[in-house]
Amino acid sequence: EVQLLESGGGLVQPGGSLRLSCAASGFTFSAYAMSWVRQTPGKGLEWVTGISDSGGKTYYADSVKGRFTISRDNSKNSLYLQMNSLRVEDTALYYCAKDGSSSALDSWGQGTLVTVSS
């Protein structure tokens, strides 16, 4: 059974930094691309960033480009999201998700909440 467990969320002031982690199990982590998707409370889904299976390619939404960095450690079955220069509008529940067929996200974690507020 695929399991994705996010951690690292919390309260941070505007301009601050936070690092999210996602521990993966139940599948061959190194064989799959991964993504982070966020959801503002009561709102829709927004894709944030993605990374290829090897980590050699990364993709970012314009809203986070230059501020967020996605990475992975295949030896630890872990995905990361380094978030710098955080803004109030980055407040959201952040989901880790596994890429499946044709860019579909076939497994999701339960999310970790990031609150940016002074």
Partner 1 sequence: SYELTQPLSVSVALGQTASITCGGNQIGSKNVHWYQQKPGQAPVLVIYSDYNRPSGIPERFSGSNSGNTATLTISGAQAGDEADYYCQVWDSSTRRVFGGGTKLTVL
Of 1, 21, 11, 9, the C-alpha closest to 96 is 21
Are 9 and 114 a contacting pair, CB within 8 Å? yes
> Shortest Cβ distance from residue 47 to partner 1 (Å)?
4
Task: Compare residues 23 and 45 and give the one whose CB is closer to partner 1.
Answer: 45
| DSSP string of 19-43, one letter each residue | EEEEEEESS-GGGS-EEEEEE-TTS
Give contact residues for partner 1 (rule: CB under 8 A): 35, 37, 44-47, 50, 59-62, 95, 100-111
Task: Compare residues 46 and 53 and give the one whose CB is closer to partner 1.
Answer: 46
> Shortest Cβ distance from residue 118 to partner 1 (Å)?
28
> Shortest Cβ distance from residue 40 to partner 1 (Å)?
12
Measured CA to CA, the distance from residue 24 to residue 75 in angstroms comes to: 11
Are 41 and 49 a contacting pair, CB within 8 Å? no
Task: Compare residues 17 and 103 and give the one whose CB is closer to partner 1.
Answer: 103
Task: Compare residues 31 and 104 and give the one whose CB is closer to partner 1.
Answer: 104
> Shortest Cβ distance from residue 77 to partner 1 (Å)?
19
Collapsing DSSP to helix, strand or coil, 89 comes out as helix
